[in-house]
Amino acid sequence: MKPKLSIVKIGGNVIENSSSLSQVLELFSKMENHTILVHGGGKKATELGNRLGIKAQMINGRRITDAASLDIAVMVYGGLVNKNIVAELQSIGTNAIGMSGADGNAIHAHKRPIKDIDFGFVGDVDSVHGENVSKLLIAGFTPIFCALTHDGKGQLFNTNADTIAAELAVGLSSNYETTLYYCFEKKGVLREVSDEDSVIEHINSESYKELLKNGVIADGMLPKMHNCFYALQNNVHQVCIGNESMLSNTSSKYTRLTL
């Protein structure tokens, strides 16, 4: 039987509020089995950019990562956010180790190909070196990943944190029974966006198609659900979407996805 691994992705809203962050880290530190945390950077990178007078470059409403924006991402995600999370987890007994995709050669990516838009230093993931991440887990460390990857030629990239979490889950599923948790501000996937209690408690491939057809899953949930089913189709055991309470063993509702 494979050992169990939980990969928890926490979103920007959690990171921006230090008491929410502490609450999530507290729950995360109490989780059993091997664990990995993946975090984005929230609005902190935009804030630093504004203070430096560097405006986010946008083309057709899509954000571009130019060289100055990449430096900001590396400073904020890889430095400020990551190291403070690591220090806080250490204070509550979790032997955290901060990681980008370059550290331990964990996540290889290539620059997103230019079709209509040149996104700049945005990386699409090629591969996760699960054996290196696994060495850290076996040695008793808890890897804390920020949303940066590298191309193996010295170039860092900005990569979506949801994607990093899904790719790590896929990359480690040959050696671990992996559950992927997408932790965000809502209780789960909602049947009615305006009704916080309309959580859909279980979605499988079949009901997913229905929910897409009926437009229940739309907008920002689309790429998240795409990552979930990508993970499930590539040997990830289970995916859960909800707020931080799903990380504990309380009876709160959340959405559980299986094939």
222 Cβ partners below 8 Å, 6+ apart? Answer: none
63 annotated among ligand-binding-site residues:
yes
Q: Pick the binder of a copy of itself from 76, 109, 180, 240 (CB under 8 A).
A: 76
Nearer to a copy of itself, 168 or 203 (CB): 168
Residue from 16, 152, 196, 230 binding a copy of itself (CB under 8 A): 152
Q: Work out how close the CB of 120 gets to a copy of itself at its nearest, in angstroms, rounded to a whole number.
A: 16
Q: Binders of a copy of itself: how many residues, by CB under 8 A? A: 42
Angle at 76 between CA 70 and CA 80, to 5 degrees: 150
Does the annotation place 41 within a ligand binding site?
A: yes
Q: Is 98 annotated as a binding residue?
A: no
C-beta closer to a copy of itself: residue 54 or 212: 54
Nearer to a copy of itself, 5 or 228 (CB): 5
78 lines the binding site for a copy of itself (CB under 8 A): yes
Binding status of residue 74 toward a copy of itself by CB under 8 A: yes
97 belongs to the binding site for a copy of itself (CB under 8 A): yes
Which position among 1, 67, 114, 139 is part of the footprint of a copy of itself (CB under 8 A)?
139
153 binds a copy of itself (CB under 8 A): yes
- In the complex, what is the shortest distance from the CB of residue 228 to a copy of itself, in angstroms, rounded to a whole number? 29
Which residues contribute to the site for a copy of itself (CB under 8 A)?
A: 48, 51-52, 71, 74-80, 82-84, 86-88, 90-91, 95-100, 102-105, 132, 135-136, 139-141, 148, 150, 152-156
Residues annotated in the binding site for substrate, as ranges? 41-42, 63, 158
